[in-house]
Amino acid sequence: MFKYGISCSLEPQPVRQPVIIRGEIEHVADQVKKAGYDAIELFIRNPEQYDPERLNKAAANEGLEFCAISTGMEFTRNGLCLIHDDAEQRAKAVARLKAHIDLGAQIGSPVVVGIMRGSIPDFDREEQYLGYYREGLGQLCDYAKEKGVKIYVESIMRYINNYLNSVPETAQFLRDMKKDNLFLHIDTHSMAIEDWNEYETVKNAADITGYVHFSDNNRGYPGAGGVDFKPIMRALYDTGYNGYISTECTPYPTEFECAKRGLDYMKALETIVSIEAAPMMG
């Protein structure tokens, strides 16, 4: 029933970075296909450096799609932030994300806006910073809509960003934006810190959920840590979720083994929840 993606990087990363397959796009596509996934999530920065034709060719050769472009390195490595105090810096962050949207349009991929929202430096001025964020995000949604691209905003735990942490908080913020190409991106690693009652949490956000990261509490592949993925999988199943489930994990014990074990675990859970959902005598 579900489609599965996997986080991949086209530039060198520290081993501890939660991204699984690394290397040139042809190598990435080969490994992703061999591990059994349906799609590649691209963890990239400076999108102009990539040739969309080459990306499309590599994916098509393996029968894969691109399920998302994730943009966290624009914050962590390039320092671009959507709520920067300096208007010029905010404009730069928006412009860079528009370049990701351009690439997304060319390779048929949504774009994730995650940690580029930064952290609010002074909660006495919370409304001002939320205003910056709404303004930038709104511009991006309008730009992306013209190009037929979806925007995913990830709920991220407090140790990374200090607002839009829990699933219900982020879901409501996005509903209030009233943009029809803007969707919630759930991350199970962040849920482990921010949310409780996983089944209800995921079910209640189903109206706005477009993308899901599966990652264990220790950032290992699903099944490597303590997250109870079954109620999350069950909620996605019961609500007829039709987006991608993508793994975003540190590549232990090896890139390929991490990819394989994560997918085996997720597919096994999908099988379990689908059997449990069927009437016994049916």
Identify the bridge partners of residue 186 per DSSP, sorted by sequence position: 212
Q: Which is nearer to Mn ion, 38 or 187 (CB)?
A: 187
Among positions 128-187, residues that touch Mn ion (CB under 5 A) are 187
Cα distance between residue 246 and residue 32, in whole Å: 12
Which runs of consecutive H residues, i.e. helices, occur in the chain?
A: 25-35, 52-61, 73-76, 87-107, 126-146, 167-177, 188-194, 198-204, 229-238, 255-277
Structure tokens, 195: 């949310």
Q: Which is nearer to Mn ion, 90 or 213 (CB)?
A: 213
Build a one-symbol-per-residue string for 202-221: x at contacts with Mn ion by CB under 5 A, - elsewhere: -----------x--------
Cα distance between residue 146 and residue 157, in whole Å: 31
Nearest approach, Cβ of residue 248 and Mn ion (Å): 5
Q: Which is nearer to Mn ion, 248 or 270 (CB)?
A: 248
Q: Given the DSSP bridges, would you call strands 39-43 and 65-70 parallel, antiparallel or unpaired?
A: parallel
| Binding residue (CB under 5 A) for Mn ion from 38, 74, 248, 270 | 248
Nearest approach, Cβ of residue 114 and Mn ion (Å): 7
Q: Is 117 in the site for Mn ion (CB under 5 A)?
A: no
Residue 212 Cα to chain centre, angstroms:
6
Q: Is 270 in the site for Mn ion (CB under 5 A)?
A: no
Q: Which is nearer to Mn ion, 187 or 194 (CB)?
A: 187
Nearest approach, Cβ of residue 91 and Mn ion (Å): 26
Nearest approach, Cβ of residue 187 and Mn ion (Å): 4
Amino acid at 135: E
Prior bond of 253 cis (ω within 30°): yes
Q: Which is nearer to Mn ion, 248 or 255 (CB)?
A: 248
Where along the sequence are the contacts to Mn ion (CB under 5 A)? 187, 213, 248
